[in-house]
Amino acid sequence: MSEFKSPLAEQFEAFVRFRKACMKWNDTSYGMNLLLFDKHCLQHFPEEKVLTQDMVDSWCIQRESESNNGCISRIYAIVSLVRFLRERGLTNANEPVIPSAEKRLYIPHPFTKEELQLFFKACDSYKPFNFRTASHLNIKYTLPVFFRLLYSTGMRTTEARKLRRCNVNLDTGVISIVNTKGYEQHYVVMHDSMLVLMKTYDFVIEDLYPGRMYFFPNGPIGFRSRTWVQHYFKVMWEQVESTYATAYELRHNYAIENINKLVGHGMSFEDNLIYLSKSMGHTSADITVKYYYSLVPALSEVLLEQTETGFNELIPEVDYEEG
């Protein structure tokens, strides 16, 4: 039975199937907000069988207590829905105006070596509630590998969660990332020590879930949720520090550590920056620089020294959505 109850339920279901087939579906943001929009349509437009401008505008208008970024998160699924239906001639409604994104002022936690050592020790020492069940053993085996992969490759948490086993080459150590922000495929090469760990993990988990689709499975057919990552990072981190940090900041740590090492490793500064940018899935090196310029100490001096001219053109206003 469909979760959607409004007269537009069939169109909503077709939209969901399309997004999932394109690997562009997000249950947390798209799923929740589409269900809320369905309830809105059922309550205020119970007789409408075609998406109208009034339906779109009444839902997508920014609320008094809502920030720009909050509004964007709430309505973006509806923006995509309107595009989907317009392309198929199923509505004449126009896309709502999306508010300008606001700068995020939060500064990622600067991990120390000691903190990271203690964090991974906590992951290694995790004791499951029940050593006899596959689900509990899965958590024990996954925590040390999953978070080390984020730390050593700079992968986004979503990329690691949805990583398919077929996209991990355990012979060459190359990971093909296809389900990512912006849906631009890119590649990550694992460090030799990480590759050894991934091979061991793969052997053990394959025994628990033979023929699994996802590298880090949640049962035989699923992948880990964003909530799972948030919860277990918090549990492990609280054994180390009381200050706030998130799993995504392991990606920031990877970028900052690599930017600080860009000079003096045999290749030009520009070449190193391009390699880092591509491995992190950024569309250009400029995006990498713009985002981390405000986070990396002395990066301005390094850039000025390396580029000499064009420095101001290279550093336009930071767009924090690009991280």
Mean pLDDT on 156-160 = 91
Asked if residue 226 lies in contact with residue 161, where contact means CB atoms within 8 angstroms, the answer is yes
Mean pLDDT on 161-165 = 94
In eight-state DSSP terms, residue 244 is: -
**Sign of the CA dihedral with 84 first, then 86, 91, and 96 last:** positive
Better pLDDT: 208 or 102: 208
Better pLDDT: 273 or 46: 46
Query: Rounded to whole angstroms, how far apart are CA atoms 316 and 197?
Result: 40
What's the confidence (pLDDT) of residue 99? 86
What's the confidence (pLDDT) of residue 286? 55
Q: How confident is the model at residue 83 (pLDDT cuts 50, 70, 90)?
A: very high
What's the confidence (pLDDT) of residue 210? 95
- Is pLDDT of 21 > 90? no
Q: How confident is the model at residue 75 (pLDDT cuts 50, 70, 90)?
A: very high
- Is pLDDT of 300 > 90? no
- Is pLDDT of 176 > 80? yes
Asked if residue 67 lies in contact with residue 102, where contact means CB atoms within 8 angstroms, the answer is yes
What's the confidence (pLDDT) of residue 65? 86
- Return mean pLDDT, the chain: 82
Beta-carbon contacts of 117 under 8 Å, excluding residues fewer than 6 positions away, are none
Beta-carbon contacts of 199 under 8 Å, excluding residues fewer than 6 positions away, are 170
- Is pLDDT of 283 > 70? no
Which residue has 């809320």 as its token pair? Answer: 36
Q: Of all helices (H) and strands (E), which one includes residue 187?
A: strand 186-189
What's the confidence (pLDDT) of residue 231? 96
Instruction: Report yes or no on whether pTM surpasses 0.75.
Output: no
pLDDT tens digit sequence for 127-142: 987 778 899 999 999 9
Mean pLDDT on 199-228 = 94
